[in-house]
Structure 1
Amino acid sequence: MVRTAITTIGNLYLGHRRRFKLWGLLVLVTLAIFPLRQILVDAGLIALAPEALSTGVLLAVFLAALACEYMDSSLGMGYGTTLTPLLLLAGFEPLQIVPAVLFSELLTGLAAGAMHHRDGNLDLPSDRQARRTLMLLAMLSAVGAIGAVAIAVKISAFWFSLSIVTIVLAMGLVTLVTARRRIAYRPGAILAVGLVAAFNKGLSGGGYGPLVTSGQLVSGVPAKSAVAITSIAEALTCLVGLSAYLVFGGAIDWSLTLPLVAGALLSVPLATATVKGLPENWLRRAVGGMTLILGLVLLAKLLA
């Protein structure tokens, strides 16, 4: 098993050697900008606005976005769910975090979709099933954003959250159990899971990826297509959420948003190459395992 894993990783690197080298160079250049910025500030050559983040905080935000988006674009989940609590712990306010995360997810979701298509993980022009799945999820994004408001005033937040956690855990288990099985495509199941995920995103701002990715897998969508479709669908969901936020008077904090976007975008080429190089059953197990982990984390947070 270990030898197989090493061989798979080696083949992944060899198959995308040029991309990996270019990616490494871009990351190093970006990382070099942070200390250079501090040197210029210390020398009095540039001045920062009072609200500007320190060099250390910028670097931490960049690296966190890089890691979280790599997980999100390669497994279809984890960016907002993981990054938002980290930013809260770092002292950022929710009104700073939400639009920054939505904006960065919008850009990286579209970029990931394009790169997944380029790498052959998804072919929307010729794959009718993929187009149908994406269309269903895209339509449900708007429904979720509107319907969540109506649901929020009629149901206990605790019980609604508990039901979402239960579904996430169930999806993770089913994905792991069926990792080696071929499942017939069921658009009705996509509709049900997508609707619940869209409501959850509109109500809580997170939890979209685990539900939609694992839901597609147990509905018969191939793992690589499911991850790619989730990236695009979540980008459309973020567009709806961000637009509503701006319409109601919100604003984007660019001091936080820019390092988030830089880190997240740089992770995309590496993540889509990872999806291309992994065997289908490995990817299904990884999605199932990560869905279970995130579901347990959400459950612990809910019961704390």
Structure 2
Amino acid sequence: MENEQQIDKSLTTTAIARINVFEDKLMWFIAIVIYSVIAVLFFGEQRLINLAHETSNWLGKDFYSYLAVGLAAQLVDGTLGMAYGITSTSFLLGIGVPPALSSTSVHVSEMFTTGASAVSHYKFKNINKKLFKTLLIPGVIGAMSGAYLLSEVLDGDVIKPFISIYMFVLGLVILRKAIQKNVPKRKTKKVGLLAIFGGFMDAIGGGGWGPIVTSTLLGQGRNPRYTIGSVNAAEFLITLSSGITFLWFGGVNSWQIILGLVLGGIIAAPFGAILINKVPRRPLMILVGSVVIFLSLRTILKAEADFIEYWNNLLALFC
């Protein structure tokens, strides 16, 4: 009974930290609304309509798709406290964005959210310093290695099906986490290797640090408050390192995607803060896991069809 009360208290503190992050984003949202009203009063409605039309043409026709992806991913992350990268990457791959651009865009946009989350967890004393230090360096090494390989070595068209398979597995992990019951605490081993793997796969796949590292540590019975707080705090520096690596080797070739994800996240943040205590966690996790699995299967099947078509065309040349 005492252990259950401790877990409830830990999760409540973590939820408060997440709400604090969304309060910061809510201020940005309110500021945008206020400045929009001032702009209408100062410049006039018709002039702003023309400006909006010109801006829309400048951003490109796909910008609103990226905006919708950012909105959906932030709603999921705001309610569950995880799966931003998985959700956004699955949707981006589904609409045809190459793996390197997807991962770059997701990690650069995550710099804004993970930084605020890390500060909040530090403020609420949710961080286990020993666990944080154990995760940090290996996680950064794994993330930078994955970002370099995806930017400079790996062919996006070749690796895309494998990333979709990885996303499929993460979808299963989310479903498993939704139905898993509390387990007794076991001694945590090889946390450094777990961090390297989590950081590497997060950079290569565009998401997965939380589901891989947090789920594994919680599955070993660790305290939810300090586990979630420490993993989220480390995620900021890991996301920062992979984002900088992507930008260093690949340049800023996806600013429309980044802008769409960031603006979508800002718009969705207040609603995520509201939904955090309104939407049942388990059904939403099942829904998110199912959507990720569906999108991943769709990409895998499309890649298989393209592969078969390629070989048929190749054989036709020799027949």
**Distance across 2 between alignment mates of 1:241 and 1:160:** 20
- After superposition, the Cα gap between the structure-2 partners of 1:32 and 1:90, relative to the gap in structure 1 and judged at 3 Å, is farther
TM-score (norm 2): 0.60
**Structure 2 partner of 1:215:** 216
**Structure 2 partner of 1:123:** 127
Which has more helix, going by share of residues? Answer: 2
TM-score (norm 1): 0.63
Whether 2:58 is the aligned partner of 1:52: answer yes
**Distance across 1 between alignment mates of 2:264 and 2:90:** 17
Which structure has the larger Rg over C-alpha atoms? 2
Deviation at 1:245, TM superposition (A): 2.8
**Distance across 1 between alignment mates of 2:294 and 2:138:** 28
**Structure 2 partner of 1:137:** 139
**Structure 2 partner of 1:3:** none
**Structure 2 partner of 1:83:** 88
Deviation at 1:36, TM superposition (A): 7.3
**Structure 2 partner of 1:72:** 77
**Distance across 1 between alignment mates of 2:136 and 2:274:** 21
**Structure 2 partner of 1:4:** none
**Distance across 2 between alignment mates of 1:166 and 1:94:** 15
Structure 2 unaligned regions, length at least 5: 1-8, 302-319
1:27 to 11, 17, 29: 29
Q: 1:196 corresponds to which letter in structure 2?
A: F
Q: Over residues 199-249 of structure 1, what are the superposed CA-to-partner deviations in whole Å (9 max), with x where a residue is unaligned?
A: 323333334432233122224433343433443343333323332333235
Q: Over residues 47-84 of structure 1, what are the superposed CA-to-partner deviations in whole Å (9 max), with x where a residue is unaligned?
A: 556853389966x7556535423433553432232224
Deviation at 1:103, TM superposition (A): 1.6
Indicate conservation of the 8 Å contact 1:111/1:268, yes or no: no
- After superposition, the Cα gap between the structure-2 partners of 1:167 and 1:197, relative to the gap in structure 1 and judged at 3 Å, is farther
**Structure 1 partner of 2:203:** 202
Q: Over residues 153-177 of structure 1, what are the superposed CA-to-partner deviations in whole Å (9 max), with x where a residue is unaligned?
A: 8xx8589558745753664466456
- After superposition, the Cα gap between the structure-2 partners of 1:150 and 1:42, relative to the gap in structure 1 and judged at 3 Å, is closer
**Structure 1 partner of 2:246:** 245
Q: 2:290 corresponds to which letter in structure 1?
A: I
- After superposition, the Cα gap between the structure-2 partners of 1:72 and 1:184, relative to the gap in structure 1 and judged at 3 Å, is same
**Distance across 2 between alignment mates of 1:78 and 1:118:** 23
- After superposition, the Cα gap between the structure-2 partners of 1:231 and 1:265, relative to the gap in structure 1 and judged at 3 Å, is farther
Number of corresponding residues? 280
Whether 2:237 is the aligned partner of 1:236: answer yes
Deviation at 1:31, TM superposition (A): 4.6
Q: 1:44 corresponds to which letter in structure 2?
A: R
**Structure 1 partner of 2:107:** 102
- After superposition, the Cα gap between the structure-2 partners of 1:21 and 1:81, relative to the gap in structure 1 and judged at 3 Å, is closer
Q: Pairwise CA RMSD of aligned residues?
A: 5.1
Indicate conservation of the 8 Å contact 1:175/1:287, yes or no: no
Percentage of identical aligned residues: 20
Indicate conservation of the 8 Å contact 1:141/1:237, yes or no: yes
**Distance across 2 between alignment mates of 1:92 and 1:213:** 28
Whether 2:174 is the aligned partner of 1:168: answer no
**Distance across 2 between alignment mates of 1:165 and 1:86:** 11
Deviation at 1:109, TM superposition (A): 0.8
- After superposition, the Cα gap between the structure-2 partners of 1:157 and 1:117, relative to the gap in structure 1 and judged at 3 Å, is same
- After superposition, the Cα gap between the structure-2 partners of 1:179 and 1:191, relative to the gap in structure 1 and judged at 3 Å, is farther
**Distance across 1 between alignment mates of 2:47 and 2:228:** 47
Indicate conservation of the 8 Å contact 1:210/1:291, yes or no: no
Return 230-239 or 91-100, whichever deviates more: 91-100
Whether 2:301 is the aligned partner of 1:297: answer no
